Amino acid sequence: MNPLDTKTKNTWCPGCFNFQILAGVKNAIAKSRIKKEDFAIVTGIGCHAKIFDYVNLNGINTLHGRVLPTCFGIKIGNPNLNVIGFAGDGDAYAEGMAHLIHAARYNSDIKYFVHNNQVFALTVGQPTPTTEIGFKDKTTPQGVKIYPMNPIKLMLASGASFVARVFSDVQQIEYIFKEALKHKGFAFIEVIQPCLIFHPESYKEKFYSLDEAKHDRTNFEQAWKRAQEFDYNGVDEKTKIPLGIFYQIQKPVFEEQYPQLLDLKKKKISWKDIRR
Amino acid sequence: MKYTILFGGEAGQGPNILTNILGQALVKQGYHVFYSRDYQSLIRGGHNFNVLTFSDKPIHSNESKIDILVSLDEDTETMHKDSLKKEAVVLKGHDENMYYAGRLFKLLGLNFEVLEQELKELEKRFEENMKEAKKGYEDERDCVCQLKHGKGDAVFMNGNQGISEGAVKSGLDIYYAYPMTPATPVLGELAEVQEEKNILVLELENEISVINAGIGSAMTGAKVMVGTSGGGFDLMTEGISLAGMAEVPMVIYLSQRPGPATGVATYTAQGDLNIARHSGHGEFNRIVLAPGNPKECQELISQAFYLSQIFAIPSIIISDKHLGESFYTIEEKPKITHSRKLASMMRYNSYEKDKEGSATENPEIIKENIEARIKKNKEIEKETEKVDRVNVYGKKHSKNVIVSWGSTKGAILDAIEDLDVEFIQVLYIEPFPDIKKELEKKNVILIENNATGMLGELIAEKTGIFIEDKNKILKYDGRPFFHDELKKEIEGRLGK
């Protein structure tokens, strides 16, 4: 048995793209050579959150929208942990929006994966802040009237030091997990994830790789331009959706600016080990 | 002997420094001092005042009538003229607050050296302050009393300092908060000592983040406290429910001000007893403690940490603006309960979880989990029987019994000095002590700084004893009780 496996029965829909994310994450963790105990994972509430039940790592399946403050608290409690957050688009962009902007500001060393299926799936199909105009469900019989938000632009504007988008595919997840882990600071990774039941659009024909397009990820203007290529409001024949790392720079990391935390890192201990 | 001095002026004129200097000096001479602050929600201008009462006997509250009025601005005298005693002295007509310090010390018969010592400790503007103080000391010709010079070793501190010191002595590692009056001073007190004490003090984007970050840190085994007032506490309640479910130790400082909503930002009230007891959805255990002075702040916060650690539950320590920002003379050393850090990183969950820590919907496991959590109630009850869950003062076995909680303690103690009445101060709101026997067949008087008598409701719920409306002394104008006024209220309700 893979030490990362749990005994919990998987209850995602057959063929759900969450399986791809799960496999990619497990592969990346196994290959990282980091000890299991040195990871902490935090999930929100929704289909994505079941990943907590399928990866045998410490952490918490926390409240809806609160993945980032919880990740932050864990990182402050023990800065030696590799803290990975998973959230849905409801968690990240609706309930927990304020935390997202501030997480980008704080630049704490947290890796944050947003499973964006552009729909509230587990509550059976309501629109989220990234759902396109015209989308209809039982709660919106007149169709969505509000323009979706663009999280990539939001993160760039908020000062995030690592902004990426990938598709929910094993290799892409594995690649970006590795890159995010290498990055020092807050890493925002949006995972485009079709929901087979409530939002099946896969955009498959529209993707292109930023790396192959020779995109300069240290250039903010370029990143900003690329971010505008896809506005989340449906696609037409001209739409192109960039995948990969939009932007990555080195900024002061939150934990490295407090002598109290630097001391914990230096001694490889947590507050729990401090006797008073 | 007992004197009450009011210092009034615009915000920014420095009535606090002046009150502090006199308060500290008097405590060092062996006197008992209490002072409260009344200030508006503004930065400059307006009318702020402090009331200082001192005595050669213990004092824990203010008298409503003033012996000496220090008027730093023109409005103070007009606004407080109805509170002046007949023979009251009014000091006014000068710009410099240290000039008044000089006059006051002379007026009270204190040596100038006592004031000089305080100015030295103040450090800032020593030369200028000395010049002004000397001038005031020389100008003053009157004498209100001849205070004796002595040696006092009591500590002069406010409730927020009690909370901060108590938390540090209890082994605090991390404090998270978002500024909200009247809890904000704890953020400042702790931030100031964070490097010296090797703790971390962080201000986050809102109270939701504060409580959830607190839970994250507590999961790693750190000793964590968060602090706020009622409005911020409302936002924290989802996290309190989470701490209950995930079984994470967490201490929450709730400093009350009048509500609902924004209420009255810089004034006092005891209206949050019910939310402290009932916040957070679902059934889970919690501790709710209510200190009545800065010494109890220290003792109870150490018990809050202890109980949170032992039982992996949230503990709420509830204070208010009056207790938090008023200065008390503390003679005894607080008894600190020490605790270990018992939480550690594992698989926590906001969902009901199985043995592996994964979410479960299995009815047997759900039932088992809930029973395991509820079962702690009995153990908590047993553990807390070891400490005083109430304090009892006044005349033992009197047929009259006052019950109250929190910051009303001071005024009650001062009011009942020579009355035929017993006073039961409830320290443990949750788990609530069994006080049925003490109240049965007695003339029970309820005193609270709120409009509905929340402790009275709690007593009725737990003991079946209903306190008559005519025996409820409730004050809800944002101001604390004055002991002389309270005494009259109590006297009118005593059984013959």
pLDDT digits (tens, 9 = 90+) for B306-361: 999 999 999 999 999 999 999 999 999 999 999 999 999 999 999 999 999 999 99
Cβ distance A8 to B204 less than 8 Å, yes or no, reads no
Q: What are phi and psi of B29, to 5 degrees?
A: -85, 0
Determine the residue among B207, B348, B356 to mutate to test chain A binding: the one whose Cβ has the most chain A Cβ atoms within 10 Å: B348
Q: What's the whole-number mean pLDDT along residues B81-89?
A: 96
What span, in angstroms and rounded, lies between the C-alpha atoms of A242 and B48? 60
Which residues have C-beta within 8 Å of that of residue A51, sequence separation ≥ 6? A18, A21, A22, A25, A41, A43, A86
* Six-digit token string for A161: 């030091």
Residue with the two structure tokens 């009303």: B408
Closest CA to B337 of B152, B169, B189: B169
Say if B216 is an interface residue toward chain A (CB within 8 Å): yes
DSSP code for A275: -
Per-residue confidence band for B95, with pLDDT thresholds at 50, 70 and 90 = confident
Query: Which of B171, B199, B350 is closest, CB to CB, to A62?
Result: B350
Closest residue in B to A76 (Cα–Cα): B217
Instruction: Identify from B172, B175, B219, B349 which residue to disrupt to test chain A contact, counting A C-beta atoms within 10 A and taking the largest count.
Output: B219
Judge whether residue B496 has pLDDT over 90: no
Strand partners, B31: none
Q: Amino acid identity, residue A107? A: N
**Is A29 a domain residue?**
yes
For A168-240, where are the E strands, in sequence order? 187-192, 207-209
Q: What residues of B are in contact with residue A51 (Cβ under 8 Å)?
A: none
CA distances A65 to A98, B474, B480, Å, are 9, 41, 40
* Residue B255 reports pLDDT greater than 90: yes
| pLDDT tens per residue across span A234-245 | 999 999 999 999
Among the residues of B273-317, which ranges form H helices?
Answer: 273-278, 294-311
CATH superfamily for B157-384 is Thiamin diphosphate (ThDP)-binding fold, Pyr/PP domains (3.40.50.970)
Q: Which residues of A touch B205 (CB under 8 A)?
A: 98-99, 102
Annotate B241-266 with three-state secondary structure.
Answer: HHHHHHCCCEEEEEEECCCCCCCCCC
CATH number, domain B2-153: 3.40.920.10
Cβ pair B200:A70 closer than 8 A: no
Residue A1 lies in a domain: no
B115-122 average pLDDT score: 96
Identify which of B326, B263, B251, B334 has the alpha carbon closest to the alpha carbon of residue B298: B334
Closest CA to B407 of B182, B241, B130, B200: B182
CB atoms B171 and A77 under 8 Å = no
Number of domains observed in the structure of chain A: 1
Q: Is residue A275 part of a domain?
A: no
Flag whether A276 is in a domain.
Answer: no
Residues of A with CB under 8 A from a CB of B: 6-8, 37, 40, 42, 45, 50, 52-53, 56-63, 66, 68-78, 81, 98-99, 102, 258-261, 263, 270-272, 274, 276
Domains B2-153 and B390-491 in one fold: no
| B390-491 is classed CATH 3.40.50.920 | yes
Q: Rounded distance, CA B455 to CA B350, Å?
A: 32
Interface of B with A in 143-182 (CB under 8 A): 171, 173-174, 176
List the domain boundaries for chain B: 2-153, 157-384, 390-491
User: How many Cα neighbours within 13 Å face the side chain of B17?
Assistant: 20
Select from B173, B208, B344 the Cβ nearest to the Cβ of A66.
Answer: B208
Inspect the interface and report whether the beta carbons of A271 and B206 lie closer than 8 Å: no
> Sign of the CA dihedral B299, B302, B307, B313?
positive
Q: Tell me the nearest-neighbour CA distance from A64 into chain B, angstroms.
A: 10
Whether residue A126 contacts residue A119, with contact meaning beta carbons closer than 8 Å, is answered with yes
Tell whether A127 is covered by a domain: yes
Which residue, among B414, B200, B201, B419, has the nearest Cα to B293 in the 3D structure?
B414
> Confidence band (pLDDT; 50, 70, 90) for B96?
confident
pTM of the model: 0.97
| Residue A122 distance to chain B (closest CA, Å) | 15
* Residue-range definition of the domain harbouring residue A158: 18-266
The percentage of chain A sitting over the pLDDT mark of 70, rounded to a whole number, equals 100
Whose CA is closest to B218, among B256, B262, B174, B261?
A: B174
Q: How many interface pairs between A and B have CB atoms less than 8 angstroms apart?
A: 147
Please, which residues have CB within 8 angstroms of residue B439's CB and are 6 or more apart in sequence?
Answer: B401, B403, B424, B459, B463, B465
What CATH number has the domain bearing residue A85? Answer: 3.40.50.970
